[in-house]
Amino acid sequence: MLSGEVDPNYTKVISTSKALCDEGDAIECNNLAGIYLEGKGVDLGGRRIIKKFEQACDGGEPTGCINTATLYNEGIGVGKDRTKAVTYMLKSCGLGEASACNSLK
């Protein structure tokens, strides 16, 4: 997105996801961060995107942990940090996400 413009097709989706995320819905936090990451919402910058993925992870959403790990591993929006990437994959594994457990082998 250019200059923080909102894609009009996502305005309602973003509004609903943000409200649910703010109420503690971890899945919606993960969905919202994904929308932002794809550039379909307001351009919030990488740090704010990862905060939503972290919020999802902290709320018990294993996919949020995997997404956070991926951003740290690849240095998207944050500096590359292999230790943090592994920490988030371990958390996802601990939440029962088999793909995260397998990636740690």
CA separation for the pair 105, 14 (Å, rounded): 36
Per the CB < 8 A criterion, the answer to whether 50 and 77 are in contact is yes
pLDDT tens by residue, 3-49: 345 566 677 888 888 899 999 999 988 888 888 887 776 655 667 78
pLDDT tens by residue, 52-67: 899 999 999 999 999 9
CA separation for the pair 24, 21 (Å, rounded): 5
CA separation for the pair 52, 30 (Å, rounded): 6
What length is written for the chain? 105
Domains of the chain: 11-103 (1.25.40.10)
pTM of the full structure: 0.76
Q: Which residue has the tokens 């793909």?
A: 99
